[in-house]
Copies of this chain bind each other. A is one copy, B any other.
Amino acid sequence: MEKKASNITVQALQRMPYYLHCLEQARDNGIKTISATSIANELKLNDVLVRKDIAAVSSTQGKPKAGFPVDELILDIIDYMGYNDKKDAIVVGAGSLGRALLGNHEFEGYGLSLVAAFDIKPELIGKEINGIPVYHISELETFCSEHRVPIGIITTPPDVAQGIADTFCRVGIMAIWNFALTRLDVPEGVLVQNENLASSLAMLSHHITK
């Protein structure tokens, strides 16, 4: 299938998992075609926005009134987002958050395959979490070099995160999912996606106290 042009916004990209989930639900309910308006209503989004997002990834044009074929649109999104190509990822930090990520089977549906975890706690090394082996952090560089892992996930305390990011970049990791409360310095071309629970919490807290 021809790849559509990649002129899509960050926000549109972030909406894709929602569209996919909505379409899969529709399919499971036996729905064959769906309009952008129905998707917009379901997701409480503006329907012009949804129409534009869908047009950017759909391989077919929606039919007036009937809308888009659900099965095809699901495949288009999966294809566009690269969810079919399994991308290996490693997790550094096997604490409670690291474990939650290692235990999350949903990620596989989004093309992420967690292949190893790293930590420093002796009681974790050599064990498996959800079938995924835990290695000592000293093996990180060798492992990444040998396995050419493209995605690294950091769930460590903030003070060691930059050192891990440096190692990631040295061994060719292209995208870092950073759950540590610190900002990372990385070379151009490496994407850092910060996932900051404390920042979200700040929003909630402020809303309550204001």
Whether A201 and B107, one on each chain, are in contact in the complex, defined by CB atoms closer than 8 angstroms, is yes
Give min CB distance, A156 to chain B, whole Å: 13
With a cutoff of 8 Å between Cβ atoms, the chain B residues found around residue A104 in the complex are: 96-97, 197
A87–B201 Cα distance when bound, in Å, is 11
* Contact residues, A1-38 vs B (CB, 8 A): 6, 10, 13-18, 21, 25
Interface size on A, residues (CB 8 A): 58
Q: Is the CB of A202 within 8 A of B13?
A: yes
A66: interface (CB < 8 Å): no
Contact A82–B206 (Cβ < 8 Å): yes
Asked if A200 and B205 sit within 8 Å, CB to CB, the answer is no
**B residues in contact with A203, CB < 8 Å:** 10, 13-14, 191, 193
The answer to whether A159 touches B25 (Cβ under 8 A) is yes
* Residue numbers in B under 8 Å from A159 (CB-CB): 25
Q: Tell me whether A151 and B202 are in contact in the complex, defined as CB-CB below 8 angstroms, given that A96-B104, A195-B197, A196-B17 are known contacts.
A: no
Cβ-based interface call for A163 (8 A): no
For residue A185, CB closer than 8 A to chain B, the reply is yes
Please give, as numbers and ranges, the residues of chain B lying within 8 Å of A200 by CB-CB distance: 14, 177, 193, 195
Q: Is the CB of B177 within 8 A of A204?
A: yes
At the interface, is chain A mostly helix, strand, loop or mixed? helix
Q: Which of B43, B150, B151, B199 contacts A17 (CB 8 A)?
A: B199
CB<8 Å pairs between A and B, sample of 19: A10-B203, A13-B203, A15-B199, A16-B202, A17-B181, A18-B181, A81-B209, A82-B208, A82-B209, A83-B205, A87-B205, A96-B99, A110-B198, A110-B201, A110-B205, A112-B201, A174-B208, A175-B207, A193-B204
A residues contacting B by CB (< 8 A) are: 6, 10, 13-18, 21, 25, 43-45, 81-83, 85, 87, 96-97, 99-100, 103-104, 106-107, 110-112, 150-151, 158-159, 174-175, 177, 181-183, 185, 191, 193, 195-210
Q: Is the CB of B199 within 8 A of A14?
A: yes
Give CA–CA (A189, B178) in the complex, Å.
Answer: 31
